Amino acid sequence: MSRHLVVVGHGMVGQRMVEAIADRDQSDRWTVTVLGEETHHAYDRVALSRYLTDPDAGLGLVPDGWYDGGRRTCHLGDPAVTIDRNARTVRTESGRELTYDALVLATGSRAFVPPVPGADLTGCHVYRTLDDLDGIRAEAAAVRAAGGSAIVVGGGLLGLEAAGGLRDLGVPVHVVEFAPHLMPQQVDAGGGEALRRLVEQLGVQVHAGVGTASLEADDAGRVTAATLTDGSRLEAKLVVFAAGIRARDELAREAGLPVGTRGGVLVDRSCRTDDSAIWAIGECAAVEGAVYGLVAPGYAMAEVVADRLLGGTAELADPDMSTKLKLLGVEVASFGRVGGSGDTETLDVVFSDPVAGIYKKLVLSDDARTLLGGVLVGDASAYAGLRPLAGRPLPAAPDTLLLGDGAGAGALGDDDQVCTCNAVTKKDIVTAITEQDATDVPAIKACTRAGTSCGSCIPMLKTLLDECGVHVSKALCEHFEYSRAELFELIRTSGIRTFSGLIAAHGTGGGCDLCKPAVAGILASLGNGYILDGEQAALQDTNDHALANMQRNGTYSVVPRIPGGEITPEKLIVIGEVARDFNLYTKITGGQRIDLFGARLDQLPAIWRRLVEAGFESGQAYGKSLRTVKSCVGQTWCRYGVQDSVGLAIDLELRYRGLRAPHKIKMAVSGCARECAEARSKDIGVIATDNGWNLYVAGNGGFRPRHADLFASDLDTETLLTYIDRILMFYIRTGERLQRTAAWLESLDGGLDYLRSVVCDDVLGINADLDASMAAHVANYSDEWADTLADPERLARFVPFINAPGVSDSSIEVVYERGQPRPARPGETPAPTLVAGPTLEVMPR
């Protein structure tokens, strides 16, 4: 008979436990009801700060439909308010009463607000939930418009994340930390000082070793300033409290369950309370008196309770409190013991480079043989190799470990955890590689969950792949041992401008359908002229050969460019007349263009003659190039619009038309934050603000939909164009064959921060070259169909039968549906043959 489990709390840890039970409960032993206080399904609170600058960031952890009926139910916005332990029932805020056989408390924690006079003023917020961040974001916009600043109370993990988010929203920020240095729970004084220098270089003012004495308000009750305990005064129109957390243990207290001396529901190593039917996990639990505020120990507790509920005997091991984060773009990591200074039982090996902003420390046993812990600030590349070795003999000299990339995978034992967030061992990963054919990092993630939480173990996953003999070749194909990016540089720097010259110098054989189109795209992006002239013609794929997309019945689509979606009535009439005269299926696309389907190869020149004469250009639906720049009507018509989104969309489309790239590119411009053009789902997205434009990069709606990341805020138009120029040219140079911008950004070491450093800070010293390349493209653009129509030799390729130029293809069968022609399906009776428009006769070569 099925038993009923009630889970109070719907955060990361509670969701992990429900998933673990669902995976293992093969005999349907439990039905599960989850009670959530928030109105959102469980989300990734570790990545919460992304939501502050990008409200559409995909943080959700619950797949669509996961709680729809069946053996799992979730009630959102209906928290538990009382527990009756004798009756084994839980009552919710709405009055719902649930009976349980087992009850798991996963209520998490609340933000700690120090007892500061004025902490309840308007403009004061905590930093804990999505709703909290919605309020902070709205407040920040008003503060920025008024020229005000913000104070973050707390210089720990959450405090620095909050400061980084506010800085990205354009608000000047002060961080106030009561301890003598930043991140006092994770790093030592030396690491904290290095972190302070790096943070202040990024424009955030740090006030350490002082507290917040009181907050001042104006006549309307809105915060205006803070007085610190050293007597100094900071003006601020926004205050965010991120000074720590307190366990949410009030339900347990009211039910008479024991709690720890510093809060938290008291549990043993099995995570069970002194009531045999009640368990507690995550930040609300005090395991033998200790409360852990990281996700990895919470996940470990979830696994223990899932095992116990299904008859197991699991117990919680000593949690790994190691952390690796990137705060305000600064890498920070710590593991094991970090406070070695002044301890006579330990030795510290320290490397400090204040100029480069790097601080590294290893804490060793007093005989210098055992690694006890470490701190890494500014460069945490050695973390993945060092963290599993805490408490074990040093595998190499300390300076080698500090100044290199740490220890290799060979120093790890089979049972050493590589991914502490998900408790994945080296053996688990090696098994996935050698027995489950996991030949790259995404496959390892899918098999083991390693690398799916904080991501700090990903470098070690790559090392294990290499040490297992899995070498993923970057070769474009069997004819070139180079990647597309490497071939691009070879072609660009060598001056080679033909495929035959390239394969003779750097390849083997005669080429294939992989390398030929890729090289054709590279040559086109370097301005090699009309793509169907000379040897280049033989390199193109089917669509590029016809300057049109082939459809399923052998006909082609005609897609005129309509920049920004703006079109005159006269041009609309021309399109309608062409569609009517050539009997073409007509559809308005999601990208604000008009598709015309069903044109025969021999009809394409005649169709395009009329369109070009009316002022249209090719929309290049066939090339690996810019498709469209979608727009809303913006400030011109919409009462919410704050900028001319149509005008900018037209400028962008005309600037980047015909730009050949590793994959197709889509863009959009929205005239306000309501986002009607859906810019965050595009490779390049632009959203208007009161002060300019926000630029988003690397979104797409393809096989793996991805929201674009915020690249820069409140840009003027000139800076916006400069940044887009450089991003696109850098993508063209370094992207791999058929790699969309989303995958390209994820493949860059350093990701978005690295791309910013290239584009904004010119760390590679190539910006002048990127600017010149885009300027050359803009200056040399020529419409391919206009060029084709002007040259009889080029028109000759559109004759379907070379020996019978006046004969058209009569094998194309259509039926009519909703008043328009479409390809006939197998078994359907085709429509009577219609005489559809004139063809443009040309003499064969």
DSSP 603: G
Per-residue pLDDT tens over the stretch 162-183:
998 898 888 999 999 999 999 8
Using CA atoms, how far residue 127 sits from 130, 136, 158, 723, in Å, is 9, 8, 7, 32
Question: What percent of the residues of the chain are helix, what percent strand, and what percent coil, each to the nearest 5?
Answer: 35, 25, 45
CA pair distance 74, 98, nearest whole angstrom:
12
Look up residue 96 and give its amino acid. R
pLDDT, greater one: 505 or 446: 505
What b/e sequence results for 672-711 when a residue is b if at least 16 CB atoms lie within 10 Å of its CB, and e otherwise?
A: beebbbbbbbbbbbbbbbeebbbbbbbbbeeeeebbbbbb
Weakest-pLDDT range from 336-340, 562-566, 655-659? 336-340
Residues pairing with 226 in the sheet: 215, 234
Q: Does domain 124-243 have CATH number 3.10.640.10?
A: no
Give the pLDDT of residue 472. Answer: 61
Q: What is the pLDDT of residues 36-67, one digit of tens each?
A: 999 999 998 888 888 887 787 778 899 888 89
Q: What is the mean pLDDT of residues 767-785?
A: 94
Q: From 409, 423, 410, 414, select the one nearest 461 (Cα to Cα).
A: 409
| CA–CA gap between residue 420 and residue 424 (Å, rounded) | 7
Class of domain 549-780: alpha beta
Rounded to an integer, the average pLDDT of 655-659 is 94
Domains 124-243 and 549-780 are alike in CATH topology: no
Q: Mean pLDDT over all residues of the chain?
A: 86
Residue 771: is its pLDDT beyond 60?
yes
Q: Give pLDDT, residue 793.
A: 86
Return the pLDDT at 547.
Answer: 86
Residue 245 has pLDDT above 60, yes or no: yes
In this predicted structure, what is the pLDDT of residue 836?
46
pLDDT tens, residue by residue, 127-154: 999 999 999 999 998 998 888 999 999 9
d(CA 842, CA 797): 9
Q: Which helix (H) or strand (E) element contains residue 629?
A: strand 626-631
Half-sphere exposure of 555 (CA within 13 A, CB side): 22
Cβ–Cβ < 8 Å for 134, 55: yes
Which tokens hold the place of 338?
A: 């970090």
The values of phi and psi at residue 470, to 5°, are -95, 105
pLDDT band at 800 (very low <50, low <70, confident <90, very high): low
Strand, helix or coil at 28?
coil
Cα–Cα dist 576/663, whole Å: 31
Q: What is the pLDDT of residue 845?
A: 33
pLDDT one-digit tens code per residue, 619-647? 888 888 999 999 998 888 888 889 999 99
Q: What is the pLDDT of residue 342?
A: 52
Question: 594 versus 551: which is more confidently predicted?
Answer: 594
Average pLDDT over residues 256-284: 95
Domain ranges of the chain: 3-110+247-309, 124-243, 484-540, 549-780
Beta bridge pairs of residue 670: 687
- At residue 439 the predicted structure's pLDDT band, cuts being 50, 70 and 90, is confident
Percent of the chain topping pLDDT 90: 43
- Give pLDDT, residue 626: 92
Amino acid at 778: V
542: pLDDT strictly greater than 70:
yes
Tell me the fold of 3-110+247-309: FAD/NAD(P)-binding domain (3.50.50)
Which residue, 692, 652, 690, 657, is CA-closest to 668? Answer: 652
Confidence band of 343 (pLDDT split at 50, 70, 90): low
Instruction: Report pTM.
Output: 0.60
pLDDT (0 to 100) of residue 101: 96
Q: Which pLDDT does position 653 carry in this prediction?
A: 93
Which of 221-230, 667-676, 736-745, 767-776 is predicted least confidently?
Answer: 736-745
Which residues are CB-contacts of 243 (< 8 A; sequence separation ≥ 6)?
A: 111, 112, 113, 114, 153, 154, 156, 159, 178
User: What integer is the mean pLDDT of 592-614?
Assistant: 91
Highest mean pLDDT among 472-486, 564-578, 743-757: 564-578
Percentage of the chain exceeding pLDDT 70: 93
Residue 482: is its pLDDT beyond 90? no
Strands (E), 366-518: 370-377, 392-393, 417-419, 424-425
**Other CB atoms within 10 Å distance of the CB of residue 108:** 25
Which residues, in sequence order, are bridge partners of residue 327? Answer: 330
